[in-house]
């Protein structure tokens, strides 16, 4: 099974399980539909089946909606649920590889890269060769953790070069978010940070205490590889390309995504505003 097939298989597995996304969908959709955001265009990266968002409400609120995902079938499934006037506002960008290095990742699942090749591909990963329509708001819908999963599938979790690949993909994703937002526009990176598998009691933690919990978990290094929101914020402040492109950065309060009775996630959102 190719990496593309694996992603399609995972989307298909949760296609009819929208209820599992309810708590997360409410929080993410509230960010997208905030009154102070301009009602021009919105671009959702990693939209998939659109279980993460209230797509109908978004299509009514914005003049143009761009849905981006590697899995074209998932986007088609999401769009067919819309009313005709809502669907007319939506453009699907299926089969889109936001990493620009998917062919190499596919090949590495069979044969690991040579040192010289890896260095060249990492450089490409930090500058994805993809152009998406500039939008007033660009949102990465828990896509970062999926990119990390691709890296793990490509190299294997035991490969000492995995972290280097993850950090390159993360930097490239942040740069893509920043440049896809129009001048003066905004982008939001939404990512799951950790699961209740390693945080007993996450599902019982009162919402006002989730921020304090996140700080403690980061201090204890209990988070998904590449998903530390404070490290991501630091990258945005120190990377020369991002620093020159961005006017402001805001860390939103984390929220809990109650995925099922036995599993929940802690989710972080970082909002970036591009220079006018």
Beta strands at 181-195 and 263-274: parallel, antiparallel or unpaired: antiparallel
Q: Distance between CA 43 and CA 50 in Å, rounded? A: 12
- Note the pLDDT tens digit of each residue in 139-193: 999 999 999 999 999 999 999 999 999 999 999 999 999 999 999 999 999 999 9
Cα angle 46, 202, 210 (rounded to 5 degrees) comes to 75
- Note the pLDDT tens digit of each residue in 198-239: 999 999 999 999 999 999 999 999 999 999 999 999 999 999
By C-alpha distance, which of 128, 142, 52 is closest to 97? 128
Domains and CATH numbers, the chain: 3-274 (3.40.50.150)
């Amino acid at each position: 099974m190719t990496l593309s097939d694996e992603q399609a298989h995972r989307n298909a597995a949760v296609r009819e399980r929208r209820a599992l996304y309810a708590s997360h969908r409410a929080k993410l959709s509230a960010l997208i539909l905030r009154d102070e955001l301009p009602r021009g265009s919105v671009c959702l990266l990693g939209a998939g089946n659109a279980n993460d968002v209230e797509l109908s409400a978004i299509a009514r609120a914005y003049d143009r909606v761009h849905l981006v995902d590697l899995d074209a079938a998932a986007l088609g499934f999401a769009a067919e649920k819309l009313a005709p006037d809502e669907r007319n506002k939506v453009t699907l960008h299926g089969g889109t590889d936001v990493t620009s290095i998917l062919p190499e990742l596919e090949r590495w699942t069979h044969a690991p890269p040579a040192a010289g090749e890896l260095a060249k591909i990492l450089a490409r990963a930090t500058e994805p060769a993809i152009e998406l329509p500039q939008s007033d708001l660009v949102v990465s819908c828990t896509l970062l953790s999926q990119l990390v999963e691709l890296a793990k599938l490509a190299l294997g979790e035991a490969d000492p070069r995995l972290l280097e690949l993850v950090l390159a993909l993360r930097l490239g994703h942040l740069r893509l978010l920043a440049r896809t937002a129009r001048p003066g526009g905004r982008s939001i990176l939404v990512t799951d940070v950790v699961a209740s598998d390693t945080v007993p009691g996450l599902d019982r933690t009162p919402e006002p205490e989730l921020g304090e919990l996140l700080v403690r978990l980061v201090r204890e290094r209990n988070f998904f590889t590449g998903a530390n929101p404070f490290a991501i914020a630091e990258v945005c402040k120190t990377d020369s390309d991002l620093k020159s492109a961005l006017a402001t950065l805001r860390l939103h309060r984390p929220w809990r995504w109650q995925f099922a009775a036995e599993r929940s996630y802690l989710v972080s959102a970082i909002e970036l505003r591009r220079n006018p």
